[in-house]
Amino acid sequence: MKIVTGTVVCGQIVVEGEPFSEGEKVTILSSVQGKPFRVTAEEKRLLLESMAQADRGELIDGAQLLAEL
């Protein structure tokens, strides 16, 4: 998984950095009303690690999470 930033230009999302492969599935998180969505390097590292854990199936369901709180 990777995290990239992009801008909509003529209805297309233009990403910064390396382009995605043709046919690659993506999920888009848009900032609200044009306000930038920023994360620190540490937050990005934690987010990527969390996504990797989910990919490995290291998950708990919502009921279990609430019970642990």
Domain that holds residue 11: 6-68
Domain count, the chain: 1
Summarised one tens digit per residue, pLDDT across range 9-46 is 998 888 888 888 899 888 887 777 777 778 888 998 99
Identify whether 1 is part of a domain. no
Question: What is the per-residue pLDDT for 5?
Answer: 82
Summarize the confidence of residues 50-56 as an average pLDDT.
90
Identify whether 29 is part of a domain. yes
Place of tokens 């993506």: 26
Task: Indicate the pLDDT class of residue 3, thresholds 50, 70 and 90.
Answer: confident
- The pTM (predicted TM-score) of the whole model is 0.56
Between CA 20 and CA 10 the distance in angstroms is 18
